[in-house]
């Protein structure tokens, strides 16, 4: 490893380790625009987007961030042209296959959030295998939101809880936030502290609707394929300057 690479693996000195977000979520947007600006087909932007995701995952892991959740495909993204959807589905498989060994080496724990049953069967099998193989890793928790929709997730949780009520296992008045969260896809990772959206769009596009109630939001005009370690540093620096009041009058964290 070169001296520069070693330096990149340590947290920049002006970031306070005790004030780092424990869980970062990203809406990886702008791949299509990145490609269009270069006169390339949109899918080339998705390919380059994978490189950004790898760099952000490794950096979060190196800098001591416990969880990264990345929005890779929404329940609404099926509306895109067939060719683009097919490309993305095979890209997920290729990347999973190629990166699994390295993720094992870096002790990444991978999991998926979303309605996985309607993904192509071969992708479902690979997802199951990657989840199983990395289950006991102790590094960063890496969640890929695939065929994920926040509204769909909430309805899915309601259905599961309604069944418990129907079976007499839970009384309606026992349903509280803690019980509800157990039935979300993010049950074991909790809420993100910081949500980053690239490409300048000021919307959440059906991502983690329940979980972002008190998340700090950071929007950058940078397109996802250009989002790198330095851009993450800027997001974290902005985050560390926020005053998280949670409805109170003064910060509870600092």
Intra-chain end-to-end CA distance of the chain, in Å: 36
Among 29, 191, 216, 231, binds Mg ion (CB under 5 A): 29
Whole-number Å distance between alpha carbons of 91 and 242: 36
Within the chain, strands assigned E span 23-27, 67-74, 109-113, 141-148, 194-197, 216-219
> Please, are residues 13 and 237 in contact by the beta-carbon 8 Å criterion?
no
> 3-state SS of the chain: helix, strand, coil percent to 5?
50, 15, 40
Q: By beta-carbon distance, which residue lies closest to Mg ion?
A: 29
Longest dimension (CA), the chain: 62
CB-wise, 63 or 218, nearer to Mg ion?
A: 218
Interface contacts to ligand IPE, rule CB under 6 A: 27-33, 71-74, 77, 88, 199, 201, 203, 205
Tell me, yes or no, if 193 is annotated catalytic: no
Minimum distance from residue 149 beta carbon to Mg ion (Å): 15
Tell me, yes or no, if 77 is annotated catalytic: yes
Listed ranges 29-37, 129-137, 216-224, 246-254: which one lies at the site for Mg ion (CB under 5 A): 29-37
- Options 62, 77, 226, 228, the catalytic residue: 77
33 contacts which partner out of ligand IPE, Mg ion, none, CB within 5 to 8 A by kind?
ligand IPE
Catalytic residues: 29, 77
């Amino acid at each position: 490893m070169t001296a520069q690479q070693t330096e990149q693996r340590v947290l920049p000195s002006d970031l306070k380790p005790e004030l780092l977000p424990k869980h970062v979520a990203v809406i990886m947007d702008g791949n299509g625009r990145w490609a269009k600006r270069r006169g390339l087909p949109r899918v080339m932007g998705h390919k380059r987007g994978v490189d950004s995701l790898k760099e952000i995952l490794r950096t979060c892991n190196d800098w001591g961030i416990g969880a990264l959740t990345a929005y890779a495909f929404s329940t609404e993204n099926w509306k895109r042209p067939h060719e683009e959807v097919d490309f993305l589905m095979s890209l997920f498989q290729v990347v999973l296959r190629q990166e699994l060994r390295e993720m094992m080496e870096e002790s990444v724990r991978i999991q998926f959030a979303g309605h996985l049953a309607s993904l192509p069967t071969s992708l479902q099998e690979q997802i199951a295998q990657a989840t199983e193989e990395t289950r006991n890793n102790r590094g960063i928790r890496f969640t890929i939101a695939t065929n994920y929709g926040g509204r769909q997730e909430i309805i899915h949780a309601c259905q599961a809880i309604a069944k418990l009520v129907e079976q007499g296992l839970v009384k309606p008045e026992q349903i509280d936030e803690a019980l509800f969260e157990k039935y979300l896809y993010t049950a074991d990772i909790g809420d993100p502290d910081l949500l980053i959206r690239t490409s300048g769009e000021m919307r959440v596009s059906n991502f983690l609707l329940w979980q972002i109630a008190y998340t700090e939001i950071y929007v950058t005009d940078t397109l996802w394929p250009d989002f790198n370690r330095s851009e993450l540093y800027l997001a974290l620096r902005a985050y560390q300057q926020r005053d998280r009041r949670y409805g109170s009058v003064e910060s509870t964290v600092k």
